[in-house]
Structures are given as structure tokens and as C-alpha cells.
Amino acid sequence: MKLGSIVGVSIKVNYLFMLLLMVYTLLGLGREILLIVLAVLIHEMAHTLVAIGSGIKVTEIELWPFGGQAHVEGFLALEPGKEFYIAVAGPVTSLLLAAFFYFLPVNPNTYQQLFVVINLLLGIFNLLPALPLDGGRILRSAVSPLIGFKKATARAAFLGKSIAAALFITGLYFLKINLSTLNLSSLDLTGFNLSALNLIIVAIMLFMAARREDKLLSYAFMRYLVNKKGQLAQKGMMPARHFVSRPDTEVKDLLACSKPSFYMLVIIVNADYGAEKMLGEAELIEGLLEKGPRVRLQDF
């Protein structure tokens, strides 16, 4: 569900998160919900501003209870350093907000302490090394130069699903303890603690988001080729641009020259400048995903 836009970036709320917000508002927790949404939005805007400052275009932000996902255009796998700074911006901002409001004079008539706790939990939770959390993106940026973007994403997404499963089991355990203390025969729910239920819901959403990261892995870079394929299918042809390159050239340097208006073809030449092989843009992208941002043409 789209809420609006900030600095040209669409703000959306995940439908399950929206349902959760409605339920908790009906339970009389509307102000608490507003604080959570505000904390998550600030967290995601920190990612967005750093991405824009790094030359990465952000198309939309989708809000989840544990943070959100900023959808970007561009090849983050080409420059893992950029992904690191973009990912770390959110947790750092949340922790700084928690510290700032913690040291402000406490007003018992405000929700200051709750806002501190929300930002503290948001910052710490997102540092867990698992996709789609920021810690998973930090982990991916660190290991993708070693094992490749595809394997790094798959492993970080697996950690995300594993953490979600652990949270789900923990939530069920505490929910069982909570229910055992209630008088269910008289439908008296006084004293019911929502913490266990919150944990279960967050676990489900985290698992879904991690699964989506893993599932969409093969299409992460292919989105860039959608317009080109559409133009080729519509007209039967499209402009191409040839690049002549030595075998020791890094693929990321070549892909940095790619544009939506043409299809890239790279001719690899030997020491005598004789043509050895020609690679298409899709092959370059697949090789980058498999082997990491330091892959060179000679590695093909």
C-alpha cells in the first residue's frame, strides 16, 4: 500500500504490516504504532539519503515491522563498499536516535522512553548478519568479493530464514507459557502479553522477506535488461555498442559503461590485438554474480 513519496521516493507499507497496524490500533495502541512507523521511516530514509549521496537511485521504500527495504536501481555488486555504507546507515541512525532521546530530560507525559526502546531494538536487530536485515547486507558486501554476489546472497538469505525459524519457535514457547496462565474457560484474557505474538509475527515476516531475497536472486541484475529485451522483442533489433578489451580487465569496469539505450558486446583481444572471444552483457552480469566484483574477462 502506497502512503506517498519523500524526495521523489515512493513510500509503501507491506500489506501484512498494515494489517498488524490496524489490529494494534483497534487494541488502543495507536500512538505506540505511530512511534514504530516513525522510527522505521527515519531508519529507511537514512539508507535512502546515503544511497542518493553515493549516486544510487532509490525507487521506493517498503516498510516492515523490523525495518524496511529500499529498492534501488544500479549494480550494488559492482561496488560492495557502497552497499556497506548504505546498509550501515540505518542501524547507526536508529542507535543515535536512541542515545539522543535517552539523554534528553525525561517527561513522564511523553512516549520518549518508548521511542528510545523502539530505536534501540530496531538498530540492534537490524545488525544481525542475515538478509533482508542490514547486517545481512553488510555481511554480503564483505564476503561477495571472496565468493561472489550470488553465493553471498544465498548464504545471508539462509541465515535470515534460520533466524526467523528460531524467533518463531521462541515466540511459540513464550505464547504457550502465557496462555497457560490465563483462564481460557471464562474467556478472560486479562494479563495476555502481546510480546510473544509480536515475536511470531515478526518471524513470519522476516522469513517471507528472506525467502524473497533468495528467490529473486537470479533476477537481481536481469531487471536491468528488461527494457532492452522489450525493445528487441518489439522492433526485432536494437542498437549495440562494441568494446574492445584486454583479458585482464575487470568486468565491473566494463558494466559501469553500460547504458539502457544499447546492448553491450565485449571483444576480448590477445597481446597481438587479435580477437579471441566476444561476450554479451548478460554473460558479463552472470559472471559477476557467480565470481564476485573482482572477476576479470580472463576468468571466463
CA distances 51 to 20, 59, 77, Å, are 29, 11, 14
Question: What is the rounded CA–CA span in Å between residue 70 and residue 50?
Answer: 11
Which residues touch 104 (CB under 8 Å, ≥6 apart)?
112
Nearest to 140 by CA among 159, 165, 166: 159
Q: Give, as one character, the DSSP assignment of residue 188.
A: B
Beta bridge partners of 278: 267
Residue 209: phi and psi, rounded to 5, are -70, -40
Q: Tell the residue number behind the cell numbers 528487441, with chain if given.
A: 232
CB 205 within 8 A of CB 160: no
CB 95 within 8 A of CB 89: no
| Residue in 32, 44, 276, 283 annotated catalytic | 44
For residue 247, how many other CB atoms are within 10 A of its CB?
15
Cα–Cα distance measured from residue 85 to residue 249, given in angstroms and rounded to the nearest whole number:
26
The helix/strand/coil state of 262 is coil
Alpha-carbon distance of 237 to 224, in angstroms, equals: 17
Active site residue 73: no
Which positions are catalytic?
A: 44
